[in-house]
Structure 1
Amino acid sequence: MARWSKWRLITALGVMTVALIAAMLSPSATAAADAKSSPLRDAATVTVPPGVTAGVAVFDRQTGTFTEQLNPTMQFRSASLVKLLIALDYLYNRDPADEIPASDRAQLNTMLRSSDDGAASDFWVRNGGGAIVTRMSRLLKLSDTNPPPAGQEGMWGYTTMSAADTVKIYRYVLDEAATPVRDLIMGNLRQSTRCSTTDLFDQHFGIAGAFDRPWAVKQGWSGFGGRENGTCRPATSARSGNAPTVNVTDPALHTSGTVGAGDRSIVAVFTLHPTGTPYGKAYTDLGRLTRSLTVPGSVRPAGTWFGTWSSGVNVRPSASTNPDALLQLPAGVEVLVGCQKEGQTVSVPPYTNQWWAYLPQYGGYVTNIYISSPDNQLPGVPVCGEQ
């Protein structure tokens, strides 16, 4: 279906001209962009934790090749990754500079930054539900993306997607979409919030936890329960949203986006976890998988990864229980420790400890009691200020 506005047509013609010239000058580069001709690292070197089913694709935009592919065309329920298609469909025949009402812009922002389900549901109903997926699949030439099945048309999270198709979506946004559309979508993904607005889940997993900025991410999760199981404190959330959490047998956790200066690498990782897997374990398993990938242009954060135990563990602005907590860790999640320092002595029988771990990705401290290590002071971790 052709829905071209004047500005969109002009932009597309310009992109087509540039692409044609590039192909004439360097045909080998065009061939290299085909997944079938791209060099791949041995998939066995990708760390897939036991029990996890994964689909992975990492595309280096600088060389036009995939550096990782593991089950790249396997279909998964998309969870919130379909929000990329919902946004693209809404923006397709509109100029973001002057054709978006303020209320719609606000919903696009919270849907993309904070995975707001209420905004997604509103756009889904207004713009034809599954027809959104059909239109965008045709436009972007997606092979593994389908609307929700019959009888579940309203469950946009049941849209099927693959890692390979997700790479195509980002390549379209970065290389073909009109500049205002690209800037709106990528600008919001660069401002991804730690806490989702709908169920208060910590969405700083996968790409956001494995690599230093610059990155832009859109995350997805499904099957871990509703708002009552969220790990972020309510004060950090803008609003609750109103769409139901999809409860399914196999919990899903996905990370997608770009990594590196100039959005050099596109990363898409889809995962399914055994029934009953806690959110913190899935969070940790996805993090380990993502950190094992070859991602050109990425910078790994400094620090040491440790497991944690217990639930409701508070991250605090200083090494003390007195200040209000910033938020709580997902139960049992693995965390990056940058340094440690002595602070208020904490007693959680049978343990007593005055050492606190600084978590740079959270911007706060947790008592070392809840870090999985046998000694009060963490081995191999410098004292803060003495690195």
Structure 2
Amino acid sequence: MRKVNILFLVGLCLGALVALVFVVAEPARHIVTALGPTPVAAAGSTDTSVSAPPPTSTPPSRTSGSPKTTPSSSAGKPSVDKTGQGDRTAALESLVPQGHVSAVVYDRTTGATTLSVNADRAYTSASLVKLLIAVAALENGNPAGTVKEMLSRSDDTTASTLWVANGETKIVTDAIRTMGLKETHAPTSPGRWGDTEITANDITRIYQYLLTDAPATVRTTILAGLHSATEFGADGFRQYFGIPDAAGPGNFAVKQGWSCCRPTRMLHTSGLVNGDRYIVTVLTEQPQSVDYDMASDQVTAVVKDLLPLLGK
């Protein structure tokens, strides 16, 4: 009888031990399964010359590097002439075969968005954010001549000085509220103003604000800078790609953007065409294998394809 009791106790102990192992091991398995492998976020490119201090990590980009998509919204007025829109989208995307392209054309005379292609896709802004820096600087009393020079030559050094002096990321968050920007996000690293996230929709909204709602002194100074954009930027880069080369001398006011390479190349052209009647925004993202010369030619080809929409 004593032997039976001993065997019974041993069995109970072994059973308890097995149950304990199962309880401990089972949650651990679920924890590992739930976490899975650490995801690698897609990185947007940035202008290496516009950051102070340099970032310690690559900021995430919500849709940068994602597949091309049909836009879900358009800039400006909600009415968009969609006649042949699918053909136009395919035509523009074929001109940037290795990358991504977004475009918006807004007719200020009719109040209609006549083209909207991939208009809600996100890109890092490069120097397009200087439009927001300029607004904040002028509203805070910075010299108009300094702001105009920053815009016309796309001067990074001046932009960095004005960025810091006027609140860094607060410049972007204030503009989001004031201008009704819906898809713009301040950079994760405050020192990297070129990493501000933008879309073609919101760049178009910025121009609409400048032309209709901004204080007169702000509007006058910024438009003067855009109308006097120099062929070469302060860093020596030729900034007449896109709108200037396509529209021809005297027919444009522009703010351009270029940056590379974390890990991609951004090249943007934006501004006013044909007596400031049309707001044109073209944003592109390319792999590093597409050099600046080729990327510039492709952006110009995109704008040339839009000329029939611009009275050209």
Task: Give yes or no for TM over 0.5.
Answer: yes
Question: Aligned in 2, Cα 1:295/1:147: closer, same or farther, shift over 3 Å?
Answer: farther
Inter-partner Cα distance in structure 2 for 1:208 and 1:35: 26
Partner of 1:47: 92
Q: How much does 1:54 deviate?
A: 1.0
- Structure 1 vs Structure 2 CA RMSD: 1.8
Give yes or no for the alignment of 1:36 onto 2:49.
no
- Specify the SS of the correspondent of 1:36: coil
> Secondary structure of the residue that 1:293 maps to in structure 2?
helix
1:63 to 88, 106, 110: 110
Structure-2 separation of matches of 1:153 and 1:34: 29
Q: 2: distance between equivalents of 1:196 and 1:170? A: 21
**Match of residue 139, structure 2, among 89, 92, 96:** 92
The residue aligned with 2:208 is 171
The percent of aligned pairs where both chains have the same amino acid is 37
3-state DSSP class of the match of 2:262? coil
- CA–CA separation in structure 1 for the residues paired with 2:292 and 2:172: 28
Secondary structure of the corresponding residue to residue 131 of structure 1: helix
Bigger proportion of residues as helix = 2
Structure 1 position 295, deviation (Å) = 5.6
The structure with the largest alpha-carbon Rg is 2
SS of residue matched to 1:292: helix
Instruction: Indicate conservation of the 8 Å contact 2:106/2:112, yes or no.
Output: yes
Q: How many residues align?
A: 233
Q: Give 1:255 deviation, angstroms.
A: 0.2
Q: What secondary structure does 1:37 align onto?
A: coil
Q: Secondary structure at the match of 1:254?
A: strand
Q: Aligned equivalents of 1:34 and 1:126: distance in 2?
A: 31
Cα distance, 1:114–1:298 mapped onto 2, change above 3 Å: farther
TM-aligned CA deviation for residue 187 of structure 1: 0.9
Of residues 285, 291, 298, the one that matches 2:298 is: 285
Structure with the larger RCO, 1 or 2 (CA within 8 Å, 6+ apart): 2
Looking at secondary structure, tell me which structure has more strand per residue: 1
Is 1:77 aligned with 2:124?
A: yes
Partner of 2:246: 210
What do residues 244-302 of structure 1 show as CA deviations (whole Å, max 9, x unaligned)?
Answer: xxx321100000000012x1000001000122211100001111111111564444xxx
Q: Specify every segment of 5 or more residues in structure 1 that has no aligned partner in the other structure, as ranges.
A: 1-31, 95-99, 224-246, 300-387
Structure 2 unaligned segments of length 5 or more: list them: 1-73
* TM-score w.r.t. length of structure 2: 0.71
SS in 2 for 1:255: strand
Does the C-alpha gap of structure 1 residues 56 and 289 become closer, same or farther in structure 2, counting only changes over 3 Å?
A: same
* Equivalent pair of 2:76/2:106 in contact (CA under 8 Å): no
In the alignment, which of 256, 263, 278 is matched to residue 249 of structure 1? 263
Q: How does 1:1-387 map to 2 (within 5 A)?
A: 35-40=77-82, 41-45=84-88, 46-48=91-93, 49=95, 50-94=97-141, 100=142, 104-149=143-188, 152-197=189-234, 199-212=235-248, 213-223=250-260, 247-261=261-275, 263-294=276-307, 296-299=309-312
